[in-house]
Amino acid sequence: MKSPTHPLIDALHAHSPEFVDLRRDIHRHPELGLAEQRTSQLIADRLNSWGYAVHRGLAGTGVVGQLRRGSSARRLGLRADMDALPIQEASGLPWASVHDGVMHACGHDGHTTMLLAAAKYIAEQGHFSGTLNLIFQPAEEHPGGARLMIEQGLFERFPCDAIFAMHNMPGFPQGQLVFREGPTMASSDDVTITLTGMGGHGAMPHKATDAVVAAAGIVLALQTIVSRNVDPLQTAVVTVGAINAGRANNVIPQQAQLELSVRALDREVRDLLERRIRALVTAQAESFGVKASIDYKRDYPVLVNTAEETALARRVGIELVGEDRITPQAEPLTGSEDFAVMLEHCPGSYLMIGNGAGEGSCLVHNPGYDFNDDNVSVGAAYWALLAERFLVD
Ligand SMILES: [Zn+2]
Ligand SMILES: [Zn+2]
């Protein structure tokens, strides 16, 4: 397949050595969520030098760069995340992390760089009319910087008519632009169930109330929610990822604890899962004579891309790389993403850019993962073209 030749990609490609160096510098110095001090400083310094009005401090390390031009009242938000993961890097690359146990294994170093490369181009050569808000967000992986920025006034200070974000994705050819209207990433809820019985001697179970047996019964019963309560044409996941109870074979422990990850691609299914988990755990516990306490934490919501904004995002993708290098309506994913919270406040779309599908490509969150630097110019050109098409008189 011939490589994309849009003049914007060529223009961005001319500047790409500077930004490839920057991407590798950020990769070498990864920082965990809410601790992105160095990254935040580096972003703010560059935005300042290109003439952006720079605001710092939302969610601590968040940075917003604003550029206004012309007379249009339209306001666009482009968001990049900048946090790394608590993973020991094993890529063996010259630009591997210098921080033990911390690594950019999800390519957020690339997201930050693509948006910075676009920022420079737009400031120097961009044609637009309106207000451009570039949002650099901390803590996408944990504990959720999008919600913090919004709670601290992101959209009051920087109102947006639409907001967009882009994530790199292995498994798709390099530079492929992947779109989807509607529910695209799953909600993610964390549930901790504590079962309290009465401890006792392992030889005399009839004089105790066994929390372990209750826990085992509940784990199996939970499997019926997806298989028997959820519509077979809908998506749902109930995973019991941890069971903690007991320390010795001859002691019946007092307590058992279960930790669940619960996912759905539909808001009503999400509600159904919570109702069924609560009802089932409560009734099962009662039947075993133990007490159940349920700590149900709703974390990231379902990510829903709005129709009009996704249609625009797709048109811009086709204009930039051509029909055969886009996926117009991809399958949804059961992973989660905190940009979903921004989309609950503002219409917009979340797209993906293929990181390459060849041999040796691994999944994000793998200790060998690396962002594909050929995407710096493609991703930056995409942002620049989207800004030109959205911010018009
Ligand atoms: Zn990730
Ligand atoms: Zn990510």
Helix (H) or strand (E) holding 193, with range, is strand 187-196
* Dist. CA 365 → ligand 1 center (Å): 6
> pLDDT tens, 13-53?
988 999 999 999 999 999 999 999 999 999 999 999 999 99
* Dist. CA 27 → ligand 1 center (Å): 14
* Dist. CA 215 → ligand 2 center (Å): 33
Query: 């630009």: which residue's tokens?
Result: 95
Helix (H) or strand (E) holding 18, with range, is helix 16-28
Give the residue among 25, 18, 145 at the shortest CA–CA distance from 83. Answer: 145
* Dist. CA 340 → ligand 2 center (Å): 13
* Dist. CA 212 → ligand 2 center (Å): 37
* Dist. CA 30 → ligand 1 center (Å): 13
263: helix, strand or coil? strand
| Cβ contacts of 18 within 8 Å, gap of 6 or more | none
* Dist. CA 108 → ligand 2 center (Å): 6
Is omega for the bond preceding 143 within 30 degrees of 0, making it cis?
yes
* Dist. CA 80 → ligand 2 center (Å): 10
pLDDT over 60 at 383, yes or no: yes
CA 269 – CA 328 distance, rounded (Å): 26
* Dist. CA 167 → ligand 1 center (Å): 9
pTM above 0.85, yes or no: yes
> pLDDT tens, 362-378?
899 999 999 999 999 99
Q: How confident is the model at residue 82 (pLDDT cuts 50, 70, 90)?
A: very high
pLDDT of residue 1: 47
Q: How confident is the model at residue 390 (pLDDT cuts 50, 70, 90)?
A: very high
Checking phi first, is residue 144 left (phi over 0); if not, alpha (psi -120 to 50) or beta? left
**Relative to the alpha carbon of 350, which ligand is closest?**
2
* Dist. CA 219 → ligand 1 center (Å): 28
Cα four-point dihedral sign 10, 12, 17, 23 = negative
pLDDT over 80 at 96, yes or no: yes
Answer whether 327's CB lies under 8 Å from 176's CB: yes
pLDDT over 70 at 86, yes or no: yes
Amino acid at position 393, single letter: D
Q: Which two tokens stand for residue 232?
A: 């077979």
In the beta sheet, which residues pair with residue 292?
195
Average pLDDT over residues 133-153: 97
pLDDT over 90 at 238, yes or no: yes
* Dist. CA 166 → ligand 2 center (Å): 10
* Dist. CA 193 → ligand 1 center (Å): 26
Average pLDDT over residues 265-276: 98
Average pLDDT over residues 381-391: 98
* Dist. CA 86 → ligand 2 center (Å): 13
* Dist. CA 113 → ligand 2 center (Å): 14
DSSP codes, 192-220 = EEEEE-B-EETT-GGGSB-HHHHHHHHHH
* Dist. CA 141 → ligand 1 center (Å): 6
- What average pLDDT does the chain have? 96
3-state DSSP helix/strand/coil % of the chain, to nearest 5: 35, 25, 35
* Dist. CA 73 → ligand 2 center (Å): 32
pLDDT of residue 15: 86
> pLDDT tens, 342-369?
999 999 999 999 999 876 678 999 999 9
* Dist. CA 106 → ligand 1 center (Å): 5
**Relative to the alpha carbon of 363, which ligand is closest?**
1
* Dist. CA 364 → ligand 1 center (Å): 6
* Dist. CA 140 → ligand 2 center (Å): 7
In the beta sheet, which residues pair with residue 334?
none
CA 31 – CA 130 distance, rounded (Å): 33
